[in-house]
Amino acid sequence: MAPTPCSRRALLLLLCALLSLLRRSSAGNSRVQTAVNITWSSINFKTLLQWEPEPINYVYTVEIDGNLMNRDKTCIHTTKTECDVTNMMKNVRDTYIARIYSEVPYEEDNYDTPPYGVSLPFIPYDQTEIGIPTIKYFEQRDKTLKIEIADPLIPYRSENGSFQTIRDIFKDDLKYTVYYWKDQSTGKKMSTERSNQFELSVDKGKSYCFYVQATVTSGSGSRNSPKSIEKCTSQEDLNRLDLDTILIIVAIATGVLLLMIILAVVVCKCAKAKAAAKKKEDMPPNL
């Protein structure tokens, strides 16, 4: 039986409707791109997630998943391509992955999982970079150069509310190395300690320069921090120290001299008093 004109018209309308839906679906998919080039950037446990491309007419939502945590979302419906995920990674030994969803925010009735990109795994303890060490204090006195290094702070707080340091996390896995040399000299020495305090033997009266580098040893190997700012002891400081020593010696000598003078005066007075008393005893009674 041949189709009637009405049935042909209905079939044509249905075909047009299907083509229209396909065009809409194709247009919708073309304006949403999946996140690519996803990278972790972490220094002293402050961790950022970065990706591409810049969104146009859509947004991103970041989801963090760890072995020891439930999936949780952050940076919801952001138009940026960077997200600070530090507070979601407080268990620094856990292994995390990130999913970055590309979403059209006004399509609330779309229950399908939006397209997403997945990051490589990230372990903060093994992969965070160590920041530049800071020289807190240094002093050269006689044949000793004392140096104290400030342990870098991290974003996490201890129970008393103060910020923790990388030493609180890495403990014995953290060590410092001081590289030092005589000013205007090319010969360089080094000293490594797990402490942040150094006492180095140096030549008296010579100025020294130095810098510090931190090293962390963990399961993935050793990581070195960038070098600290170079510091130098000055000849003026050394001369001032020598002057202080001289002043101390002069003060002690003056004190000893005054004490000797006082003792001499007291002894002299005592001798005169004894002599006067003896003279009085030797005088005849009628005088």
Structural domain includes residue 253? no
At 185, which amino acid appears? S
Judgement on whether residues 99 and 44 belong to the same structural domain of the protein: yes
Contact in structure between 79 and 59 (CB atoms under 8 Å): yes
Share of the chain above pLDDT 70, in %: 77
Per-residue pLDDT, averaged over 156-164, amounts to 92
CATH number of the domain at 179, please: 2.60.40.10
pLDDT value at residue 1:
53
Q: 182 in a domain, yes or no?
A: yes
- On whether both 71 and 161 belong to a single domain, the answer is no
Among 127-131, 185-189, 255-259, the range with the most confident prediction by mean pLDDT is 127-131
Q: Are residues 153 and 72 in the same domain?
A: no
Q: What is the CA radius of gyration of the chain?
A: 40
Tell whether 91 and 109 lie within a shared domain: yes
Judge whether 81 and 50 are in contact, CB under 8 Å.
yes
Among 217, 239, 261, residue at a domain's last position: 239
Write down the pLDDT at residue 184: 83
Confidence band, pLDDT 50/70/90 cuts, at residue 268: confident
pLDDT tens digit sequence for 233-243: 986 555 554 55
Indicate whether 14 belongs to any domain. Answer: no
Tell me whether residue 272 is in a domain: no
By CB neighbour count within 10 A (0-12 exposed, 13-18 middle, 19+ buried), where does 270 fall? exposed
Task: Give CA separation, 24 vs 18, 30, 60, 116, 274, in Å.
Answer: 10, 10, 21, 21, 126
The residue out of 127, 160, 186 marking a domain boundary is 127
Say whether both 70 and 152 belong to one domain. no
Whether 88 has a pLDDT exceeding 80, the answer reads yes
Once rounded to an integer, what is the mean pLDDT over residues 199-218?
Answer: 93
CA–CA gap between residue 89 and residue 36 (Å, rounded)? 22
Same domain, 118 and 207: no
Within this chain, do residues 52 and 99 fall inside the same structural domain, yes or no?
yes
**What pLDDT is recorded for position 81?**
97
Residue 41 lies in a domain: yes
Same domain flag for 107 and 189? no
- A 10 A CB-CB count for 276 gives 10
In total, the chain counts a number of residues equal to: 287
Phi-psi domain of 57 (left: phi exceeds 0; alpha: psi -120 through 50; beta: other): left
Mark whether 117 and 80 lie in a shared domain. yes
Sheet holding 96-103, edge to edge: 69-78, 59-66, 96-103, 116-118
pLDDT of residue 205: 86
pLDDT at 24: 44
Residues 181/210, Cβ–Cβ less than 8 Å:
yes
- Residue 191 located in a structural domain: yes
Cα separation, 208 vs 225, whole angstroms:
22
- Please check the confidence at residue 285 and state whether its pLDDT lies above 60: no
Statement to judge: residues 184 and 208 lie in one domain = yes
pLDDT band at 110 (very low <50, low <70, confident <90, very high): low
For residue 25, is it within any domain? no
User: By residue range, what is the domain housing residue 159?
Assistant: 134-239
Domain total for the chain?
2
**Looking at 79, 94, 127, which one is the last position of a domain?**
127
Residues 214, 155, single domain; the answer is yes
pLDDT of 57-83, one tens digit each? 999 999 999 999 999 999 999 999 999
63 falls within a domain: yes
